[in-house]
Structure 1
Amino acid sequence: MQYGICHLNIVPVRLEPTDTSEMVSQLLFGEHFKVLEKRKKWSRIRIAFDKYEGWIDNKQYLDLEEENYALLESSAEELSIDLVDFAVEPKTQALTPISLGAKLNFLEHLHLEFEGQRIVGLQPKENILKIAYLYLNAPYLWGGKTPFGIDCSGFTQMVYRLNGYQLYRDASQQAKQGEALSFIEESEPGDLAFFDNAEGDIIHVGIIMQDNYIIHAHGKVRIDRIDHSGIFNVDTNQYSHNLRVIKKVI
């Protein structure tokens, strides 16, 4: 088995091994993964954090020794908490941009130094919304995981991850985690709300706030009303999503 680590800020993970293929997720700086298949220009990988699979450009990652992969697997994540910062190569003073949520555990092996703020380990549930607000107004981007472009499940995954909790990548996968609540009145800020389409498939997720509000990625990361029917868009005065279930993960 081969292993790799992302040494660049934001790398697209694609459905097929071509630059024109759909982006299904992203690798952030410092994320590690298994290489399932390596071709001349592309590698099919399985991301360590959420077991998500896709293709990345071979020029956009570095090989990683198995022992270092195991070390990263056993270490608590250290994540950047600033919207954007820089790691510095000491000899050349070259800067590598680092976005919110970048993983900082392996800096010394990448010959980089970082003096910015970081967050480590489990945080109290009330911190969920504090982190969620950092993504407010981030534009919607299918497959995105950063404040420069993010999708609904990327948003919930990253907010939980920055608080030390693991969610899967897609909304349909996240909906299988946690404990289902019978009524919206049982929920508390930080719980997850899932929404389905006419066929009954889970297609959207957001984070419950106080007083029947929800923060979610729809066009942008925004705040809307939520009730037993679903999300009521405060700009259009219409329901945008049909509520399926509320889950308590923490």
Structure 2
Amino acid sequence: MKNHSEGNKTALSSLVLSLILLLFNSCSTLNPDDMQNSVDRIAARYVPDQREGISDIRVIEGKNHELVIRGETDSPELKQAVIDTLKKSGFIVRDSILVLPGVSLGEYRYGVVSLSVINLRREPGHDAELVSQTLMGTPVRVLKNEDYWLLIQTPDNYISWTEKSSVQLMSESDLKIWKDSPRLIYLNNSGWIYESPDEKGYVGDLVAGCIMKNAGSLKGFAKVILPDGREGYVRSNTVKEFNKWKDNTIPHSESVYKVASTMMGVPYLWGGSSAKAVDCSGFVQSVYFMNGIILSRDASLQAMHGLPVDISKGWNDLKEGDLLFFGSVRNLKHRVTHVAVYKGDGEFIHSAGRVMINSLDSTRSNYSSYRKNSLLSARRIIGAQGSKGIVAVKEHSWY
């Protein structure tokens, strides 16, 4: 289910093993810190960012040239690379690494979000940092199930904790039934699911991008079934058949800005990723999702993907819909902390306090010297679909 490229894994494994073996064999003895550092180097190659993968492997020195490796990862390839490296270096390896999802989950290793917007947190607790959100109908991979909390991975590969009550747990066969069922996607920025087609009584709320089962139509309303089995009605003119939407939605410059402009004034929320409230990268991700594209979650991740656009001589090469990245430079490296969607003519739309439009042109009333001085780079998403970090919804196997 995980949406990672399988190409070059064998070559990567061989390269990693060769480099680490060279390090091991260059020393007659290795202390535990040396061994841990070597394993960390392997882990960094297979899981370069802990926001999109899990790598927590510890090396403990045992007796008689024995090493105990403990911890967890969601990469079987990483686990095998560590074991192979240590064994080929002459160590006896005792493997205690858990590959997630663990067998304790049973068959319920997947799920579908059952509320309009759910909160995703860094740790399992209501006081933990809000790192993102995701929407009703989004398929997720379940990595852990602990008390009232689930560790999940969303289609953008982001890993976080959410309340168990927010997700309808499913087996792989359950998820296939969900995927094969006729579904609808909600198009308006906000709205309601009603108990009846006369709009009396409420079942729940909706935001743009929510996905529900289609159970027929009645009097200008679509009957819908939510992932947790609740039923209700939504106005037919606010939804579209999901398969037609994902197959026929082709992003272009004008459509990207058109969606972005409908969110003008939406308040800023750290970790927000819906039409209710957004942070800067959540705003960009939401805009592109409604144009049929799944982007990476955070600004610093988004800045790694897409086609580079030269801004060294100004903004003449920029096109509507391009992404602008802002931040600082430390030790000759960009530290991206903010992202915006380019509007054209030096203007950009972004979430900073609220969704607003600012300009790079000092003669404009909406000029932001802070943003102009902190502009680092630009990337073009349109035309880069299918590359790492830029996946069309119709090409994502989870949908």
Does TM, scored on the shorter chain, surpass 0.5? Answer: yes
In 1: Cα distance, 2:208 partner to 2:251 partner: 19
In 2: Cα distance, 1:46 partner to 1:95 partner: 27
> Which residue, out of 170, 195, 198, partners 2:298?
170
How far 1:90 sits from its partner (Å)? 6.0
1:181 match? 309
CA change 1:89–1:68 in 2 (3 A) is farther
SS in structure 1 opposite 2:268? coil
Q: What does residue range 126-205 of structure 1 map to in structure 2 within 5 Å?
A: 126-183=254-311, 184-199=315-330, 200-205=334-339
How far 1:86 sits from its partner (Å)? 2.0
For the pair 1:80 / 2:186, whether they are aligned, the reply is yes
> Which residue, out of 379, 383, 396, partners 1:247?
379
1:195 and 1:203 in contact (8 A); partners too = yes
CA change 1:56–1:115 in 2 (3 A) is same
For the pair 1:118 / 2:239, whether they are aligned, the reply is yes
Counting matched residue pairs gives 246
CA radius of gyration, larger in: 2
CA change 1:57–1:78 in 2 (3 A) is same
1:192 and 1:248 in contact (8 A); partners too = yes
How far 1:123 sits from its partner (Å)? 3.2
For the pair 1:217 / 2:351, whether they are aligned, the reply is yes
In 1: Cα distance, 2:320 partner to 2:177 partner: 34
Structure 1's unaligned 5+ residue stretches are none
CA change 1:212–1:235 in 2 (3 A) is closer
How far 1:76 sits from its partner (Å)? 11
SS in structure 2 opposite 1:37? strand
Could you tell which deviates more after superposition, 160-169 or 123-132?
Answer: 123-132
CA change 1:208–1:237 in 2 (3 A) is closer
1:100 and 1:146 in contact (8 A); partners too = yes
How far 1:226 sits from its partner (Å)? 2.2
For the pair 1:69 / 2:175, whether they are aligned, the reply is yes
How far 1:66 sits from its partner (Å)? 1.0
CA change 1:172–1:240 in 2 (3 A) is same
Q: CA RMSD in A?
A: 2.8
For the pair 1:32 / 2:139, whether they are aligned, the reply is yes
CA change 1:76–1:212 in 2 (3 A) is farther
> Which residue, out of 12, 18, 26, partners 2:119?
12
In 1: Cα distance, 2:120 partner to 2:285 partner: 16
CA change 1:124–1:237 in 2 (3 A) is closer
Report the AA paired with residue 320 of structure 2. Answer: P
How far 1:114 sits from its partner (Å)? 3.3
State the TM-score, normalizing by the size of structure 2: 0.56
2:251 and 2:292 in contact (8 A); partners too = no
Report the AA paired with residue 64 of structure 1. Answer: M
1:206 and 1:214 in contact (8 A); partners too = yes
SS in structure 1 opposite 2:211? coil
CA change 1:226–1:68 in 2 (3 A) is farther
SS in structure 1 opposite 2:340? strand
How far 1:195 sits from its partner (Å)? 1.2
SS in structure 1 opposite 2:235? coil
1:224 and 1:232 in contact (8 A); partners too = no
In 2: Cα distance, 1:248 partner to 1:76 partner: 33
> Which residue, out of 110, 128, 138, partners 1:3?
110
1:208 match? 342
CA change 1:246–1:53 in 2 (3 A) is same
In 2: Cα distance, 1:46 partner to 1:89 partner: 32
CA change 1:162–1:74 in 2 (3 A) is farther
1:98 match? 206
2:360 and 2:371 in contact (8 A); partners too = no
In 1: Cα distance, 2:309 partner to 2:182 partner: 30
2:358 and 2:367 in contact (8 A); partners too = no
